[in-house]
Amino acid sequence: MTRGRIRSKIRRSNLYTFSCLRPQTTDTEGPNAVQGSRVVHCNQPQLHLKKPLKYCSNFISTTKYNVVTFLPKAIFEQFRRVANLYFLLAAVLSLTPISPFTPVSMIAPLAFVVGLSMAKEALEDSRRFVQDMKVNLRKVSVHKGDGVFGYRPWHKIRVGDVLKVEKDQFFPADLLLLSSSYEDGICYVETMNLDGETNLKVKRCLETTLSLNDDESFKDFLGKIRCEDPNPSLYTFVGNLEYDRQVFPLDPTQILLRDSKLRNTAFVYGVVVFTGHDSKVMQNATKSPSKRSTIEKKMDYIIYILFTLLVLISLISSLGFAVKTKYQVPDWWYLQPKKPDGVFDPTNPSLSGFYHLITALILYGYLIPISLYVSIEVVKVLQATFINQDIHMYDEESGNTAQARTSNLNEELGQVDTILSDKTGTLTCNQMDFLKCSIAGTAYGVHSSEVEVAAVQQMAIQEEDVDLSNFPKRRGGRHVSRDNVERASEIELETVITSSNENDLKPTIKGFSFEDRRLMNGNWSKEPNADVHLLFFRILAICHTAIPEYNEATGSFTYEAESPDEGAFLVAAREFGFEFFRRTQSSVFVRERYTNSGEPVEKEYKILNLLDFTSKRKRMSVIVQDQEGQILLLCKGADSIIFDRLSKNGKVYEETTTKHLNEYGEAGLRTLALAYRKLEESQYATWNNEFQKAKTSIGGDREAMLERVSDMMERELILVGATAVEDKLQKGVPQCIDKLAQAGLKIWVLTGDKMETAINIGFACSLLRQGMKQICITTTNSDALVKDGKELFFVTEQGAKENILNQITNATQMIKLEKDPHAAFALIIDGKTLGYVLDDNMKHQFLGLAVDCASVICCRVSPKQKAEVTRLVKEGTGKTTLAIGDGANDVGMIQEADIGVGISGVEGMQAVMASDFSIAQFRFLERLLVVHGHWCYKRIAQMVCYFFYKNIAFGLTLFYFEAFAAFSGQSIYDDWYMLLFNVILTSLPVISLGVFEQDVSSEVCLQFPALYQQGPKNLFFDWYRILGWMGNGLYSSLVIFFLNIVIFYDQAFRVGGETADMEAVGTTMFTCIIWAVNCQIALTMSHFTWIQHLLVWGSIVTWYLFLFLYGMMSPLISGNAYQILVEVLGPAPIYWAATLLVTITCNLPYLAHISFQRCFNPMDHHIIQEIKYYKKDIEDRHMWTRERSKARQETKIGFTARVEAKIRQLRGRLQKKHSSNLSAS
């Protein structure tokens, strides 16, 4: 609490310039100034129990179903499947006399399939319900009356309640801040769950409510809020507070949003404005959608085709039966019915034909495989189990594994075209490391960035003549050796960056990876221009808004900074000997360790003014007065901004510093330039008068006045140097993005961060690189142009739209006219501009431009905009999208995308609970897609195609026999054969195909990422392949039926001269089917395990075993199949010969097809399979490496593309150097 009291003395509002002016009170501004009908009676929640003031409760639900809607919605979901709808109709018809099967045999399978799927849906939704209840049952302190506060569950909070929220608690609703533990009513808020930013935001209450700072003060507190209606805008709020007979305007700085967290503030008091689904974060949420994979949707069309075929052959059967009944049955006296009915009435062939149509529709139902859905469900659950148990996606730090939270989208993982990713917590740790700097024209820092080291390594692999001694050292301090380079098979950043010599390793300091003896341990004082070095370090230690906190465990100070960069600068300053250790209302204190006296000295710098950093200004300045009375302006900012403000004598180091900045930028580092200006007291006093006038002015031009006055002071600067910090990404992120880019995936980043941060992250992730042309689509602030009336605003909005459309059109034209094959474009757009772009009139042009760009970064986007962008990409491109994020602000896009992936990190479980898959780190996305996605897609695609093949091969034989049996509805197969066909005899091999099949191993999938493109291109489930498999089934059915008929027709099949009856022919045909379809699946498999051998060949053995046991049963049970194998077919050589001949004839065309394809038109995995089979990857490493380099999709993003650009640059330098040497000689 001591620390809290010290910090509460600091009035942060006095430090800030552009966003700290207190709201002005006015009696003239009434409630009519606010557009919105919401009225909140503060501290009187009972007034909101009746309409029109009855608002929604604070109970939230993110589930897809509830107790009432589960049954109708879940049943609707199941019968969206066309096959299920057909079997429902068949089950109903089975209750009638015209059914060829018993009702149980039709109803039981359907009930099992639908019930199993509904149970799975209920289980998955119950997990969401449990998570919702955890949130709803959280407790918060609520004013119960007479100044007494007590705890109450979140879901019982009402509009108008006064809450007391304590440190590190989440806000349960949208609150109006009334007061805090700080004397000036500020508080620190973390909005990670809303916009993804980890930087703390400063909120401040109205000055009039500052006195409400303890429980007792709320005893008689009353007030009325008139504000806007619920809306999804996180960054706006319009309202008035009527309190103490005055009206006070409200703005977003007084609003505490639900799901943000109170940090570094003991407590705050606030009144509830929006609850539950009215809160802004829930307004940004989208309903849990019902997702179906692309293959499953396409299966419906195949079912339509098969259903059309079913109706066609049923009509043929019906017509044939009617004709036979009318013209031939009267002559067949032995078939005359004793009592004619509608089903079989020779006197009314039309009615008999109609009834036979229904019978045929049920009889030929084997064309449509009901077991397909059950088998797919089983396969997908087993696939999900393999994903969950993959040890390569286990995160040791958190102990989390990958989780397939819904298994019905497994194959969709293999067809992703575009990834839309959050930034903070997903790509980055939001941690910066101070790596290099340039002071007085001299570059310092011997460690190389990841980009530099990887470029040298890759170039050395490709070109033997590279002189490695010319290139920078790795972080261990040693040059990259040629031996290490030659051993490297691919860019492995983790091993490159980390030194292999343990003696080189030093204790790591968070935020500081700098190493250079010239500056460390006070050696900077021995450098030329030591006075410039002194200024450089002082700027680092003074020019910021951070607050120090003493860490008793480490004995050093840590810093609460508004950006990670500031934190890294302060850590660097501390390590250089300039430790910022205290801040008061008007001063900062720095402990300088290395002085002329040799003893540490504490110096005080009075803060006169602080000019904030904004995205428009791109710089920050502080005006201080040192102990000698000298007034200094210290400035840091973007180099382009600082260099334009240098004085003539301040450009001494500009040329060399610019060179260093370019090198740092090429190395993927974030850079800032540092400068200063000495001021005379009179000069400062004159400027300060102007500044104070601008600061206290009231009106729409206040911001412009402040900017103009600040710009006057930030001139005539003297350049000191520049900094280079490395943005710490999560482990493995660059490699993962690189591999995904090589796999042909497009990656968009959607973040709530400001544009500069997003761009820097883009560079760190290699989504952006030096030399890439950036297209920034922005809009001017239309609010600043509003004078009076709404008409001007309308014109301004139209102008903004036209301006944005022109920017998009010009950028599109520029890309089309670009002739450089290596040119790459990056599109960067902010949330405000997106608000215009997502309009129907412009979104398709924007999408066209975005698709043409190598990478897309959307910054300052709200959760709802993330979902809208995801929907635009999904619907506009028609391709599979994947969204990945870790916070509540990502839930919308996770639910909107075809596949949602949540990262189970430190930001709660909202994203995970809304996701289809969860992983612990972004890097695991590589394996989830490139390995499991590739496998699951091919497995499911082959499985579905095979299923239709075997059912067509089996089902059409029933139709052929019908033609031979006068379309009588008689089946050639025993009922038990037909029941066992899909349930036992052919189901397990196809399940093994869907679970264990691998065209290549996981290692090869990662080494040849281009294999992944087989999914997005849909090579294994396009209509050509589907119709091919159907044709194969048609061919097999013809061979199986007619070849057997030819063999057995009009001739004896036993030594005794017996001819085959229907049972013998039917059993032989069924044996041929079992052999043909199981041999077919064996030819389809690329990867065999003992399980597959057991299931494939075991199914054939099971058939013979069943035939033997079934024939042994009493004739009352086995009927005509009594002793069918032992006495009838077994002793007949023609039975075995027919089985062999038919099986070979059925599979010969497929064998010829795959042989021809492998020889003359092989696919990528065919080549790799041959290389692995003949062990060429071991015997001929050069060929293996060459093939691997080919197996990458051409991409302009990712680490490899960045390294190749660096290589082109280095080669150009070497050529110039070589040319200059030749000319000199």
Q: Are 824 and 1196 in contact (CB under 8 A)?
A: yes
Does residue 422 carry a catalytic annotation? yes
Angle, vertex CA 454, rays to CA 451 and CA 460, nearest 5: 135
The CA distance from 162 to 141, in Å, is 9
Q: Would you call the peptide bond into 52 cis, given omega within 30 degrees of 0 as the criterion?
A: yes
Strands (E), 964-1035: none
Q: Looking up tokens 């890294």, which residue turns up?
A: 568
**What would the 3-class secondary structure string for 254-302 be?**
HEECCCCEEECCCEEEEEEEECHHHCHHHHCCCCCCCCCCHHHHHHHHH
The CA distance from 870 to 883, in Å, is 8
User: Please, which residues have CB within 8 angstroms of residue 1006's CB and are 6 or more apart in sequence?
Assistant: 739, 926, 927, 930, 931
Which of 806, 781, 784, 638 shows the shortest CA–CA distance to 699? 784
Q: Are 881 and 874 in contact (CB under 8 A)?
A: yes
Question: To 10 degrees, what angle do helices 82-93 and 371-388 make?
Answer: 140
Q: Are 243 and 208 in contact (CB under 8 A)?
A: yes
Query: Residue 1213: which H helix or E strand, with range?
Result: helix 1199-1224
Under DSSP, is residue 690 helix (H, G, I), strand (E, B) or coil?
Answer: helix
Query: Residue 1112: which H helix or E strand, with range?
Result: helix 1090-1112
Under DSSP, is residue 1066 helix (H, G, I), strand (E, B) or coil?
Answer: helix
The CA distance from 732 to 739, in Å, is 11
The CA distance from 1091 to 993, in Å, is 10
Q: Looking up tokens 């490139």, which residue turns up?
A: 930
The CA distance from 300 to 312, in Å, is 18
Which of 551, 27, 34 shows the shortest CA–CA distance to 250? 34
Size (the chain), residues:
1225
The CA distance from 653 to 643, in Å, is 11
Tokens standing for residue 723: 């900094």
The CA distance from 184 to 165, in Å, is 17
The CA distance from 1111 to 974, in Å, is 12
The CA distance from 275 to 1075, in Å, is 65
Q: Are 12 and 184 in contact (CB under 8 A)?
A: yes
Question: To 10 degrees, what angle do helices 1062-1084 and 987-996 make?
Answer: 0
The CA distance from 756 to 947, in Å, is 53
Which of 259, 422, 612, 890 is flagged as catalytic? 422
User: Please, which residues have CB within 8 angstroms of residue 465's CB and are 6 or more apart in sequence?
Assistant: none
User: Please, which residues have CB within 8 angstroms of residue 210's CB and are 6 or more apart in sequence?
Assistant: 179, 183, 184, 185
DSSP secondary structure letter of residue 253: G
Question: To 10 degrees, what angle do helices 681-696 and 702-713 make?
Answer: 170
Query: Looking at the annotation, which residues are catalytic?
Result: 422
